[in-house]
Amino acid sequence: MKIAIGADHAGFSLKEKLRLKLAGDGHQIVDFGTGSEASCDYPDFAQFVAREVAQGRSDRGILVCSTGIGMAMAANKVDGVRAAPAQSDDEVRFTRQHNDANVLTLGARYLDQHRALELIEIFLNTEFDGGRHARRVAKIAQLEK
């Protein structure tokens, strides 16, 4: 799977660990930065990953900041992106099954590498259920910006 990944300074360390593990597992990784722990602005990286996914150049996106919330808010400004912050297995599973989320946002403050990778595994391997959920996802796309 081709995965776009990005982080701000708070998520940099975790992003690097995730990037290496996912690449080692055979995924094609497109890293949009940041490249250090120097202070930076999370919306910059959220938009790079979100556009990559929305334009179909990557299958899924992963964003990491302190909480995952700011990245989700910024990524969801891009048409075609359904970004969700999640910390539990159920949140990740349902956001894929019911909402067809294409970007997962993670909080480095709350997750270690092992737990983040467990959530990513669910995110990458859970299919969208379609059916009644497809109708609801289509309504999201019709909402005014």
Q: Is 98 a catalytic residue?
A: yes
Q: Is 133 a catalytic residue?
A: no
- Identify the active-site residue in 40, 98, 114, 133: 98
Q: Are 89 and 125 in contact (CB under 8 A)?
A: no
- Identify the active-site residue in 9, 27, 40, 65: 65
Element at 65 (helix H, strand E): strand 60-65
Which tokens go with 55? 């334009």
Q: Which residues contact 96 (CB under 8 A, 6 or more apart)?
A: 122, 123, 126, 127, 128
Active-site annotation, residues: 65, 98
